[in-house]
Chains A and B, each alone.
Chain A
Amino acid sequence: MAGLSLLDWALDGLLALLLLWLAWRALASPELFRAVVLFIAFGLVLALVWARLYAVDVALAEMAIGAGVTGALLLAALVRLEPPIGRGRQDARDGEVYDHD
């Protein structure tokens, strides 16, 4: 029983530290693409944390919306922020101004 509880503590502690570390890395990363990928990883670990807290509904929503759809939206926004380089796209339309401020 004590061993199981110790394992629980180790798992929860690892998840909490991982969550904080991912959050810090996502915020501190100067490279936006890396920050978005870290944010998605953060969402997945957060879903695990919700599942550990027996909030399976929240875990499902976090994984699908927080990590999945928001990550895709952020990546789509990132593509719009940067002038397309390579990738064989031709979407630098007239009248669209890319501002980096």
Chain B
Amino acid sequence: MTEPQHRPGSGRQPASDGAAASGTSRAPEALPPLARVLLALALLGLFGGLAAAVLSLAQPAPGLAAAVAERLDESGVSHPVTAVLLNFRGYDTLLELVVLVLALMGTWSVGRARGCAGNAPGPLLRQLPGLLAPLMVLVAGYLLWVGAHAPGGAFQAGSLLGGVGILLCLSGRTLPPWAQRPSLRVLAVLGVAVFTLLGTVAALLPGGAPLDWPPAQAKTLILTIELAAMLSIGVILAALFTGGRP
């Protein structure tokens, strides 16, 4: 990294300025040769131990693939990964969505976003989003739908939507006023809210348990949750990119 130019009036004291120039952004001090050799040996030992552990794993690896395949019919989808993520192990996915919301709250609590209006796009970025954004939204919808029987799903589709947001932000486009405060927050928690609500309703059914979808309605429920999750993931990832409260 090049040493940044300190502008006059940037608020730095000359003394700390000198210390910063000599202390940071230099390569770290080289270790003495003996320490380097010892470090290399220790790392090699660690690598050997890890390699031995991997090689000593049972073949074929024990797993729940057979159990998943056996009850795939009850999951409402025909792709085993989606069945595990949204049905058999719904808790994991729900908590992943919560982690994303928490990450957004953490980012928002640190400071304000720079806003996208300050980005001055070049000719490519001015034109490209108009062509790419609709296509990416279409592909996101396709990935969501195809997740029921082939690789795809809410996280892939959501990150594509997040990419649309990042692209639009980089090209200097901003959200319309109606989309900013409440709607942005509602969209960010929509995935967690819908997932929790439907999971609770499933628990209240006779003989039901939390996040235990009745096989007849499983497909509809999973698609509803994935739709909400996709929107939330897209909004959260794009909002994380702007780096602060809107």
CB within 8 Å of B: which residues of A? 30-33, 56-57, 59-61, 64-65, 68-69, 72-73, 76-77, 80, 82-83, 85, 87-92, 97-98, 100-101
Interface residues in chain B, defined as those with a beta carbon under 8 Å from any beta carbon in chain A: 1-2, 4-7, 10-11, 20, 24-25, 27, 81, 114, 118, 120, 143, 151-153, 155-156, 159-160, 162-163, 166, 237, 240-243
- Inter-chain contact A61/B24, CB cutoff 8 Å: no
Report the bound CA distance from A98 to B12 in whole Å: 10
Q: Is the CB of B25 within 8 A of A60?
A: no
Closest to A60 in B: B156
Contact B159–A61 (Cβ < 8 Å): yes
User: Closest chain B residue to A30 by CB distance?
Assistant: B27
Q: A60-B156, A61-B156, A64-B159 are in contact. Are A80 and B120 (CB under 8 A)?
A: no
Query: Which of B10, B159, B237, B242 touches A92 (beta carbons < 8 Å)?
Result: B10
Residues of A within 8 A of B242 (CB): 76
Known A82-B4, A100-B24, A101-B24; judge A69-B151 contact (CB<8 A): no
Q: Give the residues in chain A near B156, CB-CB below 8 Å.
A: 57, 60-61, 64
> Quick check: B159 and A65 within 8 Å, CB to CB?
yes
A60/B151 contact (C-beta < 8 A), A83-B7, A100-B25 known: yes
Contact at A85–B10, with CB atoms within 8 Å? no
With the chains together, A73 CA to B1 CA distance in Å? 18
B44 to chain A, nearest CB (A): 15
Chain B residues contacting A68 (CB-CB under 8 Å) are 159, 163
B7 neighbours in A (Cβ, 8 Å): 83, 92
Cα A59 to Cα B150 with chains together (Å): 13
Residues from chain A with Cβ under 8 Å of B237 in the complex = 65, 69
Chain A nearest CB from B191 CB (Å) reads 15
Query: Smallest Cβ distance from A74 to chain B, in angstroms?
Result: 10
- Which residues of B lie under 8 Å from residue A32 when comparing CB positions? 1
Chain B residue numbers with a CB within 8 Å of A88 are: 120
Q: Enumerate chain A residues within 8 angstroms of B153, measured Cβ to Cβ.
A: 57
**A101 closest partner in B (C-beta):** B24
Given A69-B166, A72-B166, A80-B243, A89–B159 Cβ distance below 8 Å? Answer: no
